[in-house]
Amino acid sequence: MGDGSVDRFSSLQLFVRVVDHGSFTHVGRELGIGPPAANKQIAGLEAHVGTQFLSRTSRGLPPTNAGRELLAN
């Protein structure tokens, strides 16, 4: 597995945790990273795949249809 694959796997794990907790802040505290770093990591995954997995709203971070499909797999 190359470095890119490891990064994408870590991003997928982060995505699942963010959906479970509904917050970059909460997950960032657990992992010892800042919320902007967590957001950037997931945004990188979204850019790599070419679709958005989270709806970034003032009311939380619900998964998009693509995000729900990713979680189901």
CATH code where residue 61 lies: 1.10.10.10
- HSE toward the beta carbon, residue 51, CA cutoff 13 A: 10
Number of domains forming the structure of the chain: 1
Residue-wise pLDDT for 18-27, tens only, equals: 999 999 999 9
pLDDT digits (tens, 9 = 90+) for 16-64: 999 999 999 999 999 999 999 999 999 999 999 999 999 998 888 999 9
One-letter amino acid at 51 equals T
* pLDDT computed for residue 4 by the predictor: 64
pLDDT for 37: 94
